[in-house]
Structure 1
Amino acid sequence: MNKINEAKKDMITFDNEKLPINLEPAKIDFPKYEELKKRVDRLTDSLKDYVVTEDSYEQDKKTRAELNRIQKTLSKKRIDIFNEAIAPANEFKQQVSQLEKQIKMVSDKIGEGIKHYTDKEKETKFQEIKLRLGNLALKHNVSIQLLGDIRKKDNQFNHWLNKSCSWKRIEIEAENFFKSEAEKATAKADAQKVVIDKANNPLFKSALPISPYLEMLDYKSLPDVLNQMDNDLESVKKQKKQQKKAMQDIKKYGDQYIDTNTGEVVDTVHSMTIKFSGTIEQFKALLQYAESNNISYERVK
């Protein structure tokens, strides 16, 4: 006999008691299958190259209807017998699934109670971690806030809250982390000093603000930032040169500004009185800016 059709014995263990299960796979005996197959083969072979014509059209519709009837009969019988064969298996599945659900409901309820006390233990350990590691963070001159909220699952140090995580491991990992962050902070401060020193150059200071370059250090290397500063300074110089050249081509005639190259009226003269307060050096810089941009000015008492 084929082994797949042999009866099998299994068991479920509950409270150390073994409860037997007898499994006998469904057996379907179809002794006339080969005969049916031969008949179907003859039928389909005789029609596989069949061509519908105008003359045979009406009869062909009847032939197709008969083929569909046979196919539907086989399909219905296949489904009916299959469902009958697996009925005991479905009944067993439903019975055991219901028992599983009963046990899971009770287990989940107990799990909620366990979670309450587990969370309470973790919160206590969390507060203790903050106290213990506070001095360690100060030792490296960094903030303990850099650890983030270790109670969150996606925090890299969330495992510290587990009972199995020893204080020795926590302190070693915290020491390494604070040391690394301190080194990063020192490197960033050094880089910021280099950028500030470069930005304090008179040529640069008068052309561009420093804050964007300090912010760039968060996502760019120092050499890249310095290179960016040089490129931006060159762009500003080029732009000012172009503006100066453009202003040189514009002359004031009466109440109008004329482009001497094209003769086009660029703008009309606008006059206003503005009061400035500042040092002599600031006034010199202001007048220098006005002259470089071809702006007329006069002192008003």
Structure 2
Amino acid sequence: MNGLTTLENLSVNFKPGTIDFPQAEELKKLVADKLEQTKGLVATDESIKATKASRAEVNKLKKSIADVRKEYKTAWNTPFELFESTLRGLEKDCDDASQELKLTIDGFEETQREERKQKVQALIEEMAPNYGVKAEDLPIADKWLLKSTSQKTIVQEIGEQMKVLVNLHKERDEIKKKCMKNDLAPAPYIEMHENGMSYIDVSNKIEADLIDRENTADLFKQAKQAEVAERKADMVDIGDGRLVDENGEVKHELQQVTFTLKGTKEQLDNVARFCITNGVKVVKASEREAVIE
């Protein structure tokens, strides 16, 4: 006799059960009669004992009915519970085997994915020098690690992404140059560009900030001029740029100008000597820095 090889041949002897309850109507009548006897009962000093006895009898009747129901329910359910327990145990065996196979499959696919990743990384490192970019600057797209993605597509998309990188680097260099030319810290604007803001929008932001800075400088200059005019109004001009304040102290009206000079070391040394010789006071001076033009 051949054993079971497929569920198509599984045999289960099942017959829908029936419960014959010939005295159902008699039982209904019995309960109705018993309950009819309790209708209209009132609780008084004389009747309270009988009322409690009636309630106890109703509760006893309910319990007897429930006991019969539970007895037959247990007998009815037991065969199916045994049948279900057997099948659930087999289902769990299948689940355990499926999970073990999944781990095996996942491990194999992860190994293949890592191998594809190494090949893509090697391809990026090979192509990077041709575009003048760093291999570590190009992230590996998930699509390039799919088995269904062809080598041709990967090479093409890597090339396109490297062209984008080249353009981004050029734009960031231009942003840096523009900032340095206008004495702006480039870091915030480069960060805006790295976070997705277009080169044009970053350039417009720089221009707007320069205008704001110029407007602020103008307001500051106007405030300083107003302060000088207010102080001068309280002084007596005695000529030759001399002013006498309210305390009789002589002040000198001087002029102050800010230069950014560019020249050879010798030329700037000569300017410094000229200032010292002619009594020009240097209020503030930056460190010298080398520039190539």
Separation (CA, whole Å) in 2 of partners of 1:141 and 1:54 = 106
Separation (CA, whole Å) in 1 of partners of 2:227 and 2:67 = 96
Write out per-residue CA displacement over residues 101-160 of structure 1, whole angstroms, 9 at most, x where no aligned residue.
Answer: 345545655665666666555554544444455434555555554344x8xxxx444423
Matched residues, number: 233
| 8 Å contact kept, 2:133–2:166 | no
Does 1:226 pair with 2:203? yes
Separation (CA, whole Å) in 2 of partners of 1:95 and 1:65 = 44
Give the TM-score, by structure 2 length. Answer: 0.52
Secondary structure in 2 matching 1:14: coil
CA 1:235–1:80: 2 relative to 1, 3 Å:
farther
Separation (CA, whole Å) in 1 of partners of 2:166 and 2:189 = 17
Does 1:192 pair with 2:172? yes
CA 1:158–1:67: 2 relative to 1, 3 Å:
farther
Write out per-residue CA displacement over residues 5-53 of structure 1, whole angstroms, 9 at most, x where no aligned residue.
Answer: xxxxxxx953688331123334345566678789999999xxxxx9x99
CA 1:106–1:195: 2 relative to 1, 3 Å:
closer
Deviation at 1:89, TM superposition (A): 2.1
| Aligned AA (1:228) | K
| 8 Å contact kept, 2:34–2:58 | no
Secondary structure in 2 matching 1:90: helix
Unaligned runs of 5+ in 2: 232-264, 286-293
Specify the alignment match of 1:217 in structure 2.
193
Unaligned runs of 5+ in 1: 1-11, 45-49, 253-277, 290-301
| Aligned AA (2:86) | Q
Does 1:179 pair with 2:159? yes
| 8 Å contact kept, 1:217–1:225 | yes
Separation (CA, whole Å) in 1 of partners of 2:109 and 2:163 = 36
**Identity percentage of aligned residues:** 21
Does 1:89 pair with 2:80? yes
CA 1:13–1:190: 2 relative to 1, 3 Å:
farther
Specify the alignment match of 1:4 in structure 2.
none
Separation (CA, whole Å) in 1 of partners of 2:202 and 2:134 = 27
| 8 Å contact kept, 2:131–2:166 | no
| 8 Å contact kept, 2:133–2:162 | yes
| Aligned AA (2:146) | H
Q: Which has the higher contact order (CA 8 A, sep 6+)?
A: 1
Specify the alignment match of 1:24 in structure 2.
15
| 8 Å contact kept, 1:140–1:178 | no
Secondary structure in 2 matching 1:231: helix
| 8 Å contact kept, 1:142–1:178 | no
Separation (CA, whole Å) in 2 of partners of 1:158 and 1:111 = 20
Secondary structure in 1 matching 2:10: strand
Write out per-residue CA displacement over residues 224-261 of structure 1, whole angstroms, 9 at most, x where no aligned residue.
Answer: 32333233334333444454426954899xxxxxxxxx
Specify the alignment match of 1:270 in structure 2.
none
Specify the alignment match of 2:283 in structure 1.
287
| 8 Å contact kept, 2:113–2:145 | no
The root-mean-square deviation of aligned C-alpha atoms, in Å, is 5.4
Specify the alignment match of 1:292 in structure 2.
none
CA 1:111–1:189: 2 relative to 1, 3 Å:
closer
| Aligned AA (1:287) | V
Give the TM-score, by structure 1 length. Answer: 0.51
Equivalent runs, 1:237-248 vs 2, <5 Å: 237-244=214-221, 245=223
| Aligned AA (2:197) | S
Deviation at 1:94, TM superposition (A): 1.2
Does 1:159 pair with 2:146? yes
CA 1:243–1:18: 2 relative to 1, 3 Å:
same
Deviation at 1:78, TM superposition (A): 5.6
Higher strand share: 1
Aligned counterpart for 1:236 among listed residues 208, 213, 228: 213
Deviation at 1:218, TM superposition (A): 1.9
CA 1:122–1:232: 2 relative to 1, 3 Å:
closer
| Aligned AA (1:175) | V
CA 1:16–1:24: 2 relative to 1, 3 Å:
closer
Secondary structure in 2 matching 1:25: coil
